[in-house]
Amino acid sequence: MSDPQQQAQRALRNALGAFPTGVTVITARDDTRDSLVGLTVNSFSSVSLDPALVLWSLSCKSPNLSVFVPGRAHVIHVLADTQKDMAYQFASPGVDKYAGVDYQLTEAFPAPVIEACTARFFCEVHQVLDGGDHHIILARVLRYDASDLAPLLFAKGQMMSLDTCTAP
Ligand SMILES: Cc1cc2nc3c(=O)[nH]c(=O)nc-3n(C[C@H](O)[C@H](O)[C@H](O)COP(=O)(O)O)c2cc1C
């Protein structure tokens, strides 16, 4: 049985989950541990066109708080609706996030770049802002690409495809 505070938090999370989003996977290199990091994020949002800025939020409980600091290169991948399994894989702590993932690590950009996404934003952390139990990562978009692939959607705790949504 959960206490009233946990129940209140769950109710707020459920209400916030009524707002549909896309799904992203954010990738970076952890130079200190010489490893790759990556996580599934739906808090991504556009902020500014000039300068080109986006934001996303990172849980204060994340083991990667020391990675996403000002200047850190990272790629925000907007997932296609064929990448649902990858979304769950990158949301699972303690697994090999990159197992079976088609990605490139080249000299061109110091973060893993995943193939076959709807869009990709090549970013560097501009500012880390206080966001309560999350850090708000304000990121500068250095370059981007986009495809015609249909995006993966997330609403009410479920992943779905744009194809299965009908016009109102
Ligand atoms: C659809 C979805 C959206 C998520 N969005 C976020 C988010 O915006 N910020 C965040 O910190 N974690 C988010 N998570 C949780 C992380 O993906 C998850 O905690 C992941 O394991 C963190 O990576 P770690 O293994 O490095 O801890 C989300 C999970 C899912 C399934």
Closest approach atom of ligand 1 to CA 59: 11
Distance between Cα 69 and ligand 1 center (Å): 18
Q: Where are the domains of the chain?
A: 4-157
Multiple choice CATH, 4-157, 3.40.50.2300, 2.30.110.10, 1.10.510.10, 3.40.190.10: 2.30.110.10
Quick one: tokens of 2? 């959960």
Instruction: Give the residue, by CA position, lying nearest to ligand 1 atom 20.
Output: 91
Pairing relationship of beta strands 45-48 and 53-59 according to DSSP bridges: antiparallel
Predicted pLDDT of residue 26: 99
Instruction: Kindly give the parts of the chain with pLDDT less than 70.
Output: 1
Q: Is 91 in the pocket of ligand 1 (CB under 6 A)?
A: yes
Distance between Cα 26 and ligand 1 center (Å): 10
Predicted pLDDT of residue 136: 98
Cβ neighbours of residue 100 under 8 Å, at least 6 residues apart?
89
The verdict on pTM exceeding 0.95 is yes
Q: Is 59 in the pocket of ligand 1 (CB under 6 A)?
A: yes
Is 122 in a helix, a strand, or coil?
strand
Cβ neighbours of residue 120 under 8 Å, at least 6 residues apart?
75, 76, 77, 78, 113, 114, 144, 145, 146
